[in-house]
Chains A and B, each alone.
Chain A
Amino acid sequence: MARMTGAQMVLEGLQREGVEVIFGYPGGVVLPLYDTLPQYPGIRHILVRHEQGAAHMADGYARASGRMGVCLGTSGPGATNLVTGICTAWMDSVPVFALTGNVSRTLLGKDGFQEADITGITHSITKHNYLVMRPEEIPLTIREAAHICRTGRPGPVLVDIPKDVFQESAEFDWPEQVHLRGYRPTYEGHAGMIRRAAELIDQARRPIIIAGHGVIWSDAQDELVALAEKAEIPVITTFLGIGAFPEAHRLSYGWLGMHGMFYANMAADNADLVIGVGMRFDDRAMGRFKDFNPGVKIIHIDIDPAEIGKNFPTAVPIVGSAKNVLPRLTEHVREAKHTEWLQWIDQVREEHPSLHIRESRRMLPQYVVRTLYEETEGNATIVTGVGQHQMWAGQHYFYKRPRQLISSGGLGTMGFELPGAIGAQVALPDAEVWAICGDGGFQMTMQELAVVVDENLPLKIAIFNNGYLGMVRQWQQLFYDRNFVAVAMTQPDFCKIADAYGIRAIRVETKAEVAPAIREARAHKGPILIDFMIDQEENVWPMVPAGAALSETIEAPAEELAR
């Protein structure tokens, strides 16, 4: 054991937890920590331009790499600015470790300058959080927090440390093991339940697998493919589950939900057995709960017992990680063929292709995504914001591997795109990362362009610029009688903004320019921004209107197809 300051203990602890990058922003009370940073050259600090960006970058870093992402903010506004990012990670179960400073212990609770009760504020959006009141507690706290963050169902944690605790010295006593009586994730899956699930699968005539984000986080893509192939079960994914199953596979039928594929929604709604793996039967995926596929039996595999039975009654609950449960399930199920069932879904897909892009002289956003898919041969990592462009990116790019699509699904955080993509590019420096941005969301966090330049990231930024908050405009058009309020936006010249940061930029105004621009961006070594002036009034189809059932999925109306 060695004597260290609290600040040294924090960095020593993070280093022992394998942390290599911190996305942060300095301020008064974390100065002792910043003063100590140069002593830990193994930890790279990336200076963001707003703490929300730090949290999203840590999130994008974690989603792209599967490792824990770390963000850091000062007390008060620094800490509260992290909140949106922490909540984004919370809703999507992403291991983000948020570190904040707070005012000195004697000032706590006295409404001192830049004081905020950040542990109180983040109780409901973290797996756990800590206010560390003594330097001796730091090693155990860092160890426990990191353990909670990335085990079981991953999720954000927050550690709040008063300034004088950073400064005080104590013995560094690193606990080798973590012992938390109240935290024992179950990984294995109950043998009896797995046998019962196998029996149900053997009996089913129209089984379907719905794969979610949990398959990606437990790294179980191969195990999922093995089960699907042995019992010939069609696979659809949730939006966050995109990439959990290769979309080119013959058993892949896209993803379901509000803007999922028509045939995926119909398959889920007509199955006699749903096997939910690492997903949470969310309303955006399942439509109106009470009218989802009456009579269906549900097998639910999830590492979080609280998700099972939360929204739907479950015939067979299996608490465990997909990585462990799926191979044992595969072992127990009989080889089977579901020819008729697959033909039925194929038939629906033929009649309602959903992903067909119509011929048009306009620059359709779907066409831009599809061209990007073709030009990158489906290999790029795609990070999106939230809204229409997000749905088109999910629909018209075809994903082959887990962690290839990174997007804020649960919280739906506009502004995630740029910082999320920066985090992903930091995690994967050699990968081709495209930030697909909405023109609205981009302006929420575009100050992070400075980080792209600082770190010289080869990030490709594509703005889907229709001059509208497109998804809101779509809802106003469809459900509010075309009463367009507060959705048209005067956009700045995004190319000039990129210029101002020293980033190359291309404006694309016609369909013919799309492919050449993408080629030019790919050939360019550094960061580049493309401002795609897409068709302004294109809508996302198919669609399950809010509050409707999956069986009520509607497709593009004829007049829109004629545009």
Chain B
Amino acid sequence: MNPSLNGHHPRKRANYHTVVAIVEDKPGVLMRVASLFRRRGFNIESLTVGHSEMPGLSRMTIVVDGDSAPVEQVEKQLYKLIDVIKVSDLSQEDIVARELAMIKVRCNNVNRHELLDIANVFRADVVDIATNSIILQVVGDEDKIDGLIKMCEPYGIRELSRTGRIAMVRGTKTTTVHEPEPERIARIHQTQGRRVEGDLPFSSD
């Protein structure tokens, strides 16, 4: 068995916290957050970043190991970063949490049907197929993805890519920022290039 996959057996998640941070969409923000976690010794289980519903703001979903640090400290330290606007700990909330994974599995004409059956049970999509392999795409919580991975392992997993968790609170409650910038400031921020187009040097993100 591929030793690199040993880590994908179901993990203890008892003390994992999902923290959502709304941050300015500026060069270097990801580095600031990552560097903060590193130097304070907070363990990141996963971290995803993407656009939010507000122009100029990104949304980070960070799954942090609560055993490595009190989540309250994580939140407070995040707030110290000027580019971090709002932090919400979703641990006590009723949330929808999802992750996407692509799994490239070894297969042949004989066992492909079995794999398609398994994919069907997990509502995974086949997004690529070749003579000796197949790529399955699955969306769900970590347990579901772990389950599919486990089922695929006997066939031989050639490649695995997971996005990490994104999450949202159920119901009308949101973690969003309700305060647009004043027009003049927004104009300065926009026209004066606070969100510079194209790549910047050192933008580790």
Contact = CB atoms under 8 A, between A and B. Distances in A.
Contacts of A306: 73, 76-77, 79-80
Nearest to A176: B184
Contacts of A183: 82
Contact of A108 (B82, B201, B204): B201
A375 B200 CA distance: 59
Contacts of A431: none
Contact of A181 (B27, B177, B184, B204): B177
A181 B201 contact: no
A117 B202 contact: yes
Contacts of B70: 309
Interface residues on B, range: 35 or more
A504 interface: no
Contacts of A488: none
Given A117-B202, A137-B193, A175-B188, A304 B80 contact: yes
A119 B28 contact: yes
Interface stretch (A70-78, A122-130, A330-338): A122-130
A179 B85 CA distance: 12
A250 to B, nearest CB: 37
Interface string B15-42: 0000000011001100110011001000
A131 interface: yes
A134 B196 CA distance: 9
Contacts of A305: 76, 79
Contacts of B82: 127-128, 148, 180, 182-183
Nearest to B56: A181
A309 B188 contact: no
B200 A120 contact: no
Nearest to A129: B28
Interface string A339-364: 00000000000000000000000000
B185 interface: yes
A516 B82 CA distance: 53
Contacts of A182: 23-24, 79, 81-85
A123 B73 contact: no
A41 interface: no
Contacts of B128: none
Interface in A92-126: 108-109, 117, 119-120, 123-124
A128 to B, nearest CB: 4
Given A108-B201, A128-B82, A304-B80, A136 B73 contact: no
B78 to A, nearest CB: 9
Interface of B: 23-24, 27-28, 31-32, 35-36, 39, 70, 72-73, 76-77, 79-85, 177, 179, 181-182, 184-185, 188, 191-194, 196, 200-202, 204
Interface of A: 108-109, 117, 119-120, 123-124, 127-128, 131, 133-134, 136-137, 140, 148, 173, 175, 179-183, 304-306, 308-310
